[in-house]
Amino acid sequence: MNEEAKNYQLGDVVDYTPTAARAAGQVVQVAGMAGFCATAIAANVKGAAQVGNVGKFRAAAVTGIAGQRIGWDEDGDPYGGTAGTGAATTNLVDADFLLGTLLIALTATAGKAIVLLNKLTDSYAVESARSRAVTALLTEAIWRNFNLLGMRNNPFAGSLLDTDFTHGEGEPAAQFADTSAVIDIRPGTAGEGTLILFSTADNEAAEVQWPSCPILSSGGQPWAFEARIKTSLIDDTKGGGFIGLMAGDTALAGDLIADGGTLADVGAIGFQWKEGDGDILDVVYDKNAQTQNEHSADWHTLVADTYVTVAMYYDGTTIAMYKNGAASGTAISAVDMRRRTSRQPISSCRHSR
């Protein structure tokens, strides 16, 4: 009988014939899969490599959460080992290839990573699959610290708001628009969705807020905020805007940004451009009843109709800022934000003369 197929190997351990001698436990790639040698194998001699189940790999001084992707850096520095001899890493920009998924959280001093080989989750890679520039991608250094897949599947694992205005999302329910203002979702030039806030008349505003993702600005669990923004008009007299987090009980009534550019005194942290300096993005924060703090003035120079990705990440100690995927500026101390106000993602623009 001419069988169409039959079992050849169980699959977790496969034949492997290296062109150079390999040591027992040495990390290798077999047919594009990550694995390690079950025993020592001489050059050009058939041996076996494990490519499935769970493996323990020496690791660099990095951290990771269960469910996070992890890779292998051929010349990485293992914690407590010899530098440059190879190590597992969650810093995927350093990895030569992916190993799989962390089964157990990894600390910087663990030295070993427990990995489900060649099984990859989507724990933090939530950006669109279409090719994009760095200004349109999420910041890996931030989101690899969160199990986003777990938060999607388990509402008690944390709060997650993820929207690109492409896959049927509507406008936020909490919004305010003056007579001339427009709030709308439209396709962008590359096919991605765009939330438009637009106003043409003097002293009028457009504002939106997402009330379903509360954040304690300090003292609570780690959190992050990231958005991609651009302004079509750069002018020192025409208008300004703010994007970031603002106290959850804020009333959207057109007064979140005063004529002079000061934010409403309700508690906020984020990124602001002011009508008096329209091409400059500042990092600001303001606890309730506190004078607005210009933490990092002139943090970024805006270019008309050009996107910039802005982000904040609270690791339990400080709030770090990121620009276009890279850390930027001096982090905000959690002591400065000690008032534990629950905040919500918000975006506002104001037109003035």
Q: Which of 121-125, 159-163, 262-266, 275-279 has the least mean pLDDT? A: 121-125
Proportion of the chain above pLDDT 90, given as a percent: 27
Confidence of residue 155 (pLDDT cuts 50, 70, 90): low
Q: Residue 29 pLDDT more than 80?
A: yes
Nearest to 117 by CA among 98, 95, 99, 96: 99
Q: What is the pLDDT of residue 81?
A: 94
Interval 105-123: pLDDT, tens:
899 999 999 999 988 765 4
Q: Has this prediction a pTM greater than 0.75?
A: no
Q: Tell me which of 206 and 108 has the higher pLDDT.
A: 108
Q: What is the pLDDT of residue 74?
A: 94
- Over residues 261-270, the mean pLDDT reads 77
Interval 209-249: pLDDT, tens:
887 667 776 666 788 999 988 888 777 777 788 888 887 65
Q: Which two tokens stand for residue 316?
A: 């339990």
Do residues 246 and 209 make contact, with C-beta atoms less than 8 angstroms apart?
yes
Distance between CA atoms of residues 142 and 71, nearest Å: 17
CATH number of the structural domain 134-351: 2.60.120.200
Q: What is the pLDDT of residue 127?
A: 42
Distance between CA atoms of residues 165 and 177, nearest Å: 19
Torsion of CA 319, 321, 322, 327, to 10 degrees: -80
**Cα-Cα-Cα-Cα dihedral sign, residues 229, 234, 236, 239:** negative
- Over residues 174-180, the mean pLDDT reads 79
Q: Residue 96 pLDDT more than 60?
A: yes
Q: What is the pLDDT of residue 125?
A: 42
Confidence of residue 129 (pLDDT cuts 50, 70, 90): very low
Q: Where are the domains of the chain?
A: 13-117, 134-351
Distance between CA atoms of residues 253 and 264, nearest Å: 11
Interval 309-325: pLDDT, tens:
999 998 888 899 999 98
Q: How far is CA 153 from its chain centroid?
A: 18
Q: Residue 104 pLDDT more than 70?
A: yes
Torsion of CA 145, 61, 327, 339, to 10 degrees: 60
